[in-house]
Amino acid sequence: MTDSATLLIDGRWHSAPTGFEVLDPASLEVIGTAADADAGQARTALDAAAAASRGWADTDPETRGDHLRAAATEIRARRAELAALLSAENGKPLAEAAGELGSAARMLDWAAEEGRRAYGRVTPSTAAGPGLVLRSPVGPVLAITPWNFPASMLIRKVGLALAAGCPVIAKPAEQTPLIATALLGILQETGLPAGVLQSLTTARPAELVDALLADRRLRKLSFTGSTEVGLGLLRRTENTLRRMSLELGGHSPAIVFPDADLEAAAAGVVAAKFFNAGQSCIAVNRLYVHESIRDELLALIEKKTSALRVGRGDTGNSDIGPLIDEAGSAKVRRQVTEAVGSGAKVLTGGEPAETGLRGHFFTPTVLVDITPEMLISREETFGPVLAVSTFSTEEEVIELANATEYGLAAYVFGTELRRIWRVLDRLEFGVFGVNDPAPVRPELPFGGQKNSGQEREGGSEGIEAYTETKAVALRF
């Protein structure tokens, strides 16, 4: 398979008449090329997926799981090699890349087990007879995945869909097609039947996705990306109603109560904010600190943030890699400039980082005295900037945290169980980290409320999202 043969269609790898370059975001140098799929190739992929659908649905869950377990084993065996590719293509530090690949392998193991549990139930008999609830694969799936976690988010969607008995067409982000191609190649090499797994790399995603959405044979769309694009996909379904899983933008609050372990809270906030240079939908955007612990907690956060090292991800000695592109960098600069101009103060950072490289690096930044009117209080940052405000009462901070159109993730630091329980009940978010900066686990459902998405990935809910429910009334 050459660098440009990145299209997996009907069990074979293909190139395309044109390709596009893949850049290292740290140096902006070309590290590879990918085939630029068109609408015709997308329709061919759907033909193959539709033809394979019945046979894969009829394959027993244990056999389907064998493919996923074999792929997980191979990912673990090749993790160092794959981490180097992921770091070069995405920019994240090697340790983070290796951790993401470990998560991807665990997700495959989880999906393999859950595929055996995608069963229905028998309801109590009436005078006529019993009732049955059956679950069956939804059918061909289009999985659109983002660049910020190009391994774990791809594998989570693909693994759950395959485990449920659905053929998949993957559409990786154009910034990170190479790691996606490598991982899907590992899955295909386990002996998957032709047509069960397809992959379409492209630099013109709207054209390709429109062609697939126009075809009634596509029965499910799973998308991770911005809220704007996700809402656009909903509008583009036209006359065909299909299942849609949407994992969209976030604007995550973190709340630190006075009874928190401040050392652990500071470490948790810094980890949840600056992982992947803040380019995460569940990254902490807004930190609310109780006024009684403000100075002590901020001193700890400033010390930990200032110690973070900025540089190339593949050197092994950096904590913060580059932002993905100029648009992402411009957004960070705009938010910082607007906040400072509106009265915020820079506790640390606040400017582009000097690395001697052409990529878009920004110093890990903490802004204090943030007010609700500032842009950074209303808009997801997707970069290494933490916005800090204080609060006085539980009621006040709940209102501040919920004052957003987003509802993906939230973090709470404290030890009083009754208060934590009250806060969890009233916060309008789908994922919570309680004294935990990493609330994503294969066994937990992942997804948001409000404009942060619909349906869930992971947990038992994740496999259900790829199945249809059938109710059967039996009369003997």
Rounded (5°) CA angle 284-373-377: 10
Structure tokens at 64: 């389907």
CB 134 within 8 Å of CB 437: no
Between CA 231 and CA 61 the distance in angstroms is 34
Between CA 229 and CA 157 the distance in angstroms is 18
In the residue annotation, 468 being an active-site residue is answered as no
Q: Which of the residues 74, 89, 96, 281 is marked catalytic?
A: 281
What is the torsion angle, in degrees rounded to the nearest 10, for the CA atoms of residue 13, residue 52, residue 114 and residue 464? 110
Structure tokens at 246: 């949407």
CB 288 within 8 Å of CB 400: yes
CB 250 within 8 Å of CB 397: no
Between CA 118 and CA 128 the distance in angstroms is 27
Structure tokens at 65: 């799981």
Q: Under DSSP, is residue 50 helix (H, G, I), strand (E, B) or coil?
A: helix
Q: Under DSSP, is residue 344 helix (H, G, I), strand (E, B) or coil?
A: coil
Structure tokens at 206: 């709207």
Q: 476: exposed, middle or buried (C-beta count within 10 Å: 0-12, 13-18, 19+)?
A: exposed
Cross-strand partners of 387: 286, 367
Between CA 434 and CA 438 the distance in angstroms is 10
Between CA 223 and CA 152 the distance in angstroms is 14
In the residue annotation, 281 being an active-site residue is answered as yes
- As a whole number of Å, the CA-based R_g of the chain is 23
User: Which residue has tokens 């957003």?
Assistant: 404
Q: Which of the residues 100, 247, 380, 457 is marked catalytic?
A: 247
Q: Under DSSP, is residue 298 helix (H, G, I), strand (E, B) or coil?
A: helix
Active-site residue list:
247, 281
